[in-house]
Amino acid sequence: MTRVGDSLPQPEAGWRRYDDNYKDIIYSEKYNKMRILTCYGGECSYVDNIPYDETSIKFAFVGTKIRIICVNYIDRSDIVDIDIDGVVEQFSTKENIQNTSKVDYEKLNLENKIHNVKISVNKNSQGVHLLFDCIDIDEDGYILSPIEGTLLQRTSIEDMEIGDIISCRYTASTTGKIGGFSELGKCNCEEIPRDVSSSTPDGKFFFVKVDDNKLIADRNIQNNISWNEINGNLDMFYKEKIFPLNICESDETDEYVLKASSVYNERYAYKAFGSKLGWHSKGVGYPHTLQVTFKTQPQRINFYKFHFGNSEQFPQSATEWTIEASNDELNWVILHTVKENPAPKHDQIKNYIFKNENFYAHYRIKITNSNSVDKSVAIKCLDFFYKKFSMCLPDGGVAYNNDITVSFPKKALNANETDEYILEQSSTYSTGFLAYLDFNKTNIDSNDCWHSNSEPNPYIKVSSKKDKIQVSGFRLTNRNCPGSIQPPSSCTVYGSNDNTVFEKIYETSNLPSGNKATSYHYFNSQVEYLHYKFNFQHADLYIAVGELELFKEYEYKDSPSSLVNKNQGGWPTNNDWDKYIWKNNLNGKIDAGDNNIWNYKYLVSFTKNIAILSIQSIYGNIPDGNRIVVRGYNDQYVNDNSPKRLDISITTHKSSTFGFRPMLIIRGEE
């Protein structure tokens, strides 16, 4: 049996060996590789003649025993600390003759659990010269990734506290295309590489809970993918299927009742739920309805998958409809309104999401138009879900200055009027597209916006019932609807204190036209009014605005540019990167900005922000309205201040060092 002091070229029976180059053994930056053929694997990791506090080796393992194996000689460190779960012991690597694969330390009879280990040269050692070869642990033990050894892993989001982690699998089979997420809380496969990522990953990563409703990935999960591809396709993740749970075989069971306003040629309501045979109405005129009633308990639905069509020759696809809900079949609440132009093709499948956190016993789709000449409609298949989470990129800030506060809205709005304010819109495309949707701090889909009717001068008015609103500028974000953005071509802002005479404050035609595109606008000076009116012009018949936010302060454009200022992080400073990754210790569970947790040092991470036009990147690049903010990475310009780094990139850029880390939002306010 091997003892401390013996050479051990190969692990003994009952032990498992990890070489010094194993990915989850973390070294301080001064360590280098040395090729020694008699070492395990033909090389070792070493430090020589450096400060004592820069000699650490860290890892975590699950098991009951451990051996530390080094390369010994007369000039080696004679006092080396090993800290296991806070208990510190010493060993020596000094020996009169050179000895490779030497067992210098052994610990047996540990509790079979996670153990955190730190090895470092003691300050009282004769010097710093440590050659580290390998580690042996139980044959059924294993070394954990740094994050697993530091933070508590959960299997359910509902059980998570801030600083806990949950595993998830991500698979992307095509370079440059968004993949799929699966096995949340259940993933046990190999990890996606932390420091290099992959263009076609298939592996595990971890979400870290950073706030009550936010979880951020611990690494970039895919590289060689553009911001345009990510931003346009990321918001699809986990959804719970509500109905049908199985293929429906009749219009009524003990669980549900299905009703159709009319039926053509025995294409009954139930045939639209699961079988893909489809429901077909008669050509009796609009509206047509298809209803689901839950007999045992009300359900919550906020997502549906619509499979259009009847046949290639006669598609009979719905083009205008509402999703409605009720608990008495008398009073119906409109949850979602859709107008599709052009009409969906036969066999086309589209997903729709809307806001709803209420439970209802009755849901129906009410169709008011189709592409059928006889005014009939066919639905091949309809599936209802509750989407628990949404996915986006973290907010990375938009400039280097931190002199901004939002003056309106202070919080997400859910109505056009309260005791503090009144919102008005010149018109709406339909009853659901009210002004407050521009101030609800979300932009989740095509219906989460103010949408004007066809008129020459559409506008939104913000009125305070109490104090004047101090404003220095505003942020405007286009509608989230790639097929029908309806962006404004110009915007003129007016102010008034009597709601009668309005003074012009600002005018711009420098507005982006892309989906969810954001622009920032600053007045010549700060103003104070009770009423603000935003007049828009349109390139098309309509105007749609996804988000609107008024700023109390503004970026000081004439302030000097310096690396000191640029290293202060993103602006505003409450962005996700600075608030959660750079400056957050997760309730004391980590050191803020720990690269072993967040893995930002060698990869650039896209954020969701369009860079404002008045900043320069750390390389001197100037935004052009089509550049986005990126965070992370360590380069010669900012040395080890990498978490503070803010740069800009074009939205089409793809490379092996650029990638994305998703942020998961639990349903509710972001």
Whether residue 346 has pLDDT greater than 80: yes
CA distances from 170 to 188, 198, 222 (A): 12, 11, 9
> How does pLDDT run across 460-500, given as a tens digit for each residue?
999 999 999 999 889 899 998 888 999 999 999 999 999 99
pLDDT mean over 531-549: 93
Q: What is the pLDDT of residue 622?
A: 55
* Model confidence band, residue 644 (pLDDT cutoffs 50, 70, 90): very low
pTM > 0.85: no
> How does pLDDT run across 607-622, given as a tens digit for each residue?
987 776 545 555 555 5
Residue 45's DSSP bridge partners are 33, 132
Mean pLDDT over each residue of the chain, to the nearest integer: 88
Residues 6+ apart with CB under 8 A from 608: 231, 392, 393, 394, 395, 396, 628
Chain centre to alpha carbon of residue 548: 21
d(CA 230, CA 573): 24
> How does pLDDT run across 136-186, given as a tens digit for each residue?
999 999 999 999 999 999 998 889 999 999 999 999 999 999 998 888 898
d(CA 157, CA 667): 12
Whether residue 561 has pLDDT greater than 90: no
Residue with tokens 């010549």: 524
Residue with tokens 């045992």: 296
Q: What is the pLDDT of residue 342?
A: 83
Q: What is the pLDDT of residue 560?
A: 37
Contact in structure between 648 and 629 (CB atoms under 8 Å): yes
* Model confidence band, residue 403 (pLDDT cutoffs 50, 70, 90): very low
> How does pLDDT run across 291-319, given as a tens digit for each residue?
999 999 999 999 999 999 877 778 789 99
d(CA 550, CA 424): 16
Q: What is the pLDDT of residue 614?
A: 47
CA distances from 355 to 12, 158, 415 (A): 60, 21, 14
Q: Which residue stretches of 337-473 are H helix? A: none
d(CA 598, CA 216): 9
> How does pLDDT run across 367-382, given as a tens digit for each residue?
999 999 999 999 999 9
Residues 6+ apart with CB under 8 A from 202: 169, 170, 171, 172, 173, 189
Cα angle 424, 430, 433; round to 5: 50
Instruction: Put residue 101 in one of left, alpha, beta given phi > 0 → left and psi -120 to 50 → alpha.
Output: left
DSSP conformation letters of 435-455: GGGGGSS---STTSSEE--S-
Q: What is the pLDDT of residue 33?
A: 96
Residues 6+ apart with CB under 8 A from 68: 82, 91, 103, 104, 105, 106, 119, 132, 135
Whether residue 553 has pLDDT greater than 60: yes
Domains of the chain: 15-144 (2.60.120.260), 242-388 (2.60.120.260), 406-551 (2.60.120.260), 563-665 (no CATH)
Better pLDDT: 24 or 601: 24
Q: What is the pLDDT of residue 301?
A: 95
